[in-house]
Amino acid sequence: MWPCLLGTCDLCGEEMMLVMVMDFHSLDIISLREVWRREAETAVVLGGLRGRGRGGDRGGRGRGRRPRRETEEEKWVPVTKLGRLVRDGKIKSVEQIYLHSLPIKEYQIVDALVGPSLKDEVMKIMPVQKQTRAGQRTRFKAFVVVGDGNGHVGLGVKCSKEVATAIRGAIILAKLSVIPVRRGYWGNKIGKPHTVPCKVTGKCGSVTVRMVPAPRGAGIVAARVPKKVLQFAGIEDVFTSSRGSTKTLGNFVKATFECLLKTYGFLTPDFWRETRFTKSPFQEYTDLLAKPTSKIVQVVDTPDA
């Protein structure tokens, strides 16, 4: 390193960093621009400007990757009635959607209602092949589980030519298939619900999964695949048993998901009391949904000059 000091240029008079260099065995103080100019001339004489990562003699093409440009997230424009109600703040929780059995057709609805607490994990990526006239066509199949750890879990399966596209599509499908998970107690109703409310069974292919309520502190007694799904669903204690070809991960995770889907299918005495039905959001906000969504351009006829 050359010693540096702050000084004034003799030519332009501006303040700049000066460098002390040994030039022809004599101490001389020159500006930093002069040093760069001399280095450039020396490099050209020795065979071209190289080594600065700016491309050298190749027309100034830089080496290395350019930093990614920060692209702003596209603003969500809902295309369904449910999406419009969620965007306008009329529906504030996923439970309102489940209460009236409304289909979710846009994954942004789940993002808006559940928020950043929704996590996702890729369970498996497997190659699948199809025999065609030209040969074998290979694609990739992704299994993704999403959940917020508080009674909401979803499963998505997507097949695509590229792994990244398959994962992205599986995450979207998992958000569209988010279901409510009912939790209950093992014994006395003390504290928050921590286990499944009753014994439930799910089946997919040859795989059968059975869940049994467990006392508080028992933990999730399950294999790796159903344990991850149960953690995303927010269940803390449960006993599980499985049979069949559990090495087939796709059927294993689907059977576990069916178990959690059935937790609200069993009519326990808690649900025996009379229920008062409320209006559907589509019926309640009819006037709002009747308004046109796109702007109407008014054409005014002007008299001919």
CA–CA distance from 226 to each of 18, 119, 217, 259, 266 (Å)? 67, 16, 18, 10, 21
Q: Is the pLDDT of residue 189 over 50?
A: yes
Q: How many contiguous H segments (helices) and E segments (strands) does the chain have? A: 9, 11
CA–CA distance from 166 to each of 8, 128, 189 (Å)? 61, 12, 43
Q: Which helix (H) or strand (E) holds 260?
A: helix 249-261
Q: Is the pLDDT of residue 52 over 80?
A: no
Selected residue with higher pLDDT from 75 and 45: 75
Q: What is the average per-residue pLDDT within 127-154? A: 96
- As a whole number, the mean pLDDT across the chain is 82
Read off the pLDDT of residues 93-112 as tens digits, 9 standing for 90 and up. Answer: 999 999 999 999 999 999 99
Read off the pLDDT of residues 245-276 as tens digits, 9 standing for 90 and up. Answer: 999 999 999 999 999 999 999 888 888 888 88
pLDDT of residue 269: 87
pLDDT of residue 24: 38
Selected residue with higher pLDDT from 11 and 291: 291
Give the C-alpha separation, 296 to 305, whole Å.
27
pLDDT of residue 115: 84
pLDDT of residue 28: 45
Q: Is the pLDDT of residue 36 over 90?
A: no
Give the C-alpha separation, 237 to 195, whole Å.
5
